[in-house]
Amino acid sequence: MNKLLILFIILPLLLSACLATQRIPDSSPSESALIGKGVPIAEGSQYEQTLDALIEWSDHIVVGEVAMTEVFDESTQKATVDVAHDYKGKLAAGSSISIHENSDVLQKGQQVLLFLDLYDSRSFPEPFYTPVTEDSMVRLEGDTPIAGFQLMEDISTTDQLLAYIQQSTHLKSPSQPVTVLDSVDMLDELISASDAIFELIPTRWEVVGPKVSSFTFDALRSFKGSMDELKLVNLPTNITVGETYIVFMKSYRDNSLSLTARHGSLLHSSDEAWDATVRALASLQ
């Protein structure tokens, strides 16, 4: 057979094999994916997913019932959970919390044990919670815990699991969730609470979530703080591109900036308080 013809026959097969290799990753766990007491690490997680690590890194460890679920956005489910007990934190029995998760694990009526991070953003109307890892949501089916990670050999019942958590020294690990102001009544208090105060015009945006978008902007002036390295700001989605705002902002977690308080941190140029606010801010300079 002609060598050139053979090449044309073999080459597509080789390309097909290469593409198949790229599309089908090896899903079997490697030895490096097992740590501590034999608990697998969730892929991409910053946490070592042992039970002790989940206890240590959680802001709250909640037992409760899933009261309802709803679509939050195209990739996120919002579940409302009625709290029966919080083993780490101060959530009251009988209170309800919102859990945002993207694996649709939680279903209405389930009894669950949840290892949770608190997320309290100035751009959202209320605090909400997310699982520490994708596998840190445990279904409690009678006295049987159904976990996405391997429990220790001496834990086979819900009572044993909860007793282990309750006696864990990791419950005393320091947890420092960010406290977010809901509102500030007085202008001087808002100024004092803010690390940065800018006058700007939002120019275009990229949606981050149903209530938050990331905006580029034209910087007009800074009353407080530096705008030199600020390229994007996260603001409520309902603001108007092309119009002028004064934005009161505070350093948040990784030194990024977000609104100082949930309410009152954005002032539109048409607001009746605009002139008085500008005069008060001008006195800072």
- If asked whether residues 224 and 189 sit together in one domain, one would say yes
Is residue 14 domain-resident?
no
Is residue 30 domain-resident?
no
Q: What integer pLDDT is reported at residue 255 of this predicted model?
A: 65
Supply the range of the domain harboring residue 112.
36-172
- If asked whether residues 73 and 157 sit together in one domain, one would say yes
- If asked whether residues 45 and 148 sit together in one domain, one would say yes
- If asked whether residues 167 and 185 sit together in one domain, one would say no
* Per-residue DSSP letter, 2: -
Helices and strands per DSSP (H, E), number in the chain? 5, 17
Report the alpha-carbon distance of residue 28 to residue 38 in Å, rounded. 15
Domain stop point among 139, 172, 205? 172
Is residue 74 domain-resident?
yes
68: domain CATH number?
2.40.50.120
Strands 111-119 and 137-141: antiparallel
Report the alpha-carbon distance of residue 276 to residue 110 in Å, rounded. 53
Q: What integer pLDDT is reported at residue 122 of this predicted model?
A: 60
- If asked whether residues 168 and 206 sit together in one domain, one would say no
What are the tokens at 157? Answer: 């019942």
Is residue 249 domain-resident?
yes
Contact status, residue 71 vs residue 78, Cβ threshold 8 Å: yes
Task: Determine the residue type at 44.
Answer: G
- If asked whether residues 165 and 185 sit together in one domain, one would say no
Q: What integer pLDDT is reported at residue 180 of this predicted model?
A: 65
Is residue 69 domain-resident?
yes
- If asked whether residues 168 and 186 sit together in one domain, one would say no
Q: What integer pLDDT is reported at residue 209 of this predicted model?
A: 60
Per-residue pLDDT tens listing for the chain (285 residues): 433 333 333 333 333 333 332 322 222 222 222 222 223 333 444 445 688 888 888 889 999 999 999 988 777 889 999 999 999 988 999 999 999 888 778 999 999 999 998 876 666 667 788 888 878 899 999 899 988 776 777 888 999 999 999 999 888 755 555 566 767 778 988 999 899 999 999 988 776 665 677 788 888 999 998 887 677 777 777 788 899 999 998 876 556 777 888 788 889 999 999 999 999 999 887
Is residue 6 domain-resident?
no
- If asked whether residues 146 and 186 sit together in one domain, one would say no
Is residue 151 domain-resident?
yes
- If asked whether residues 247 and 165 sit together in one domain, one would say no
The total number of structural domains in the chain stands at 2
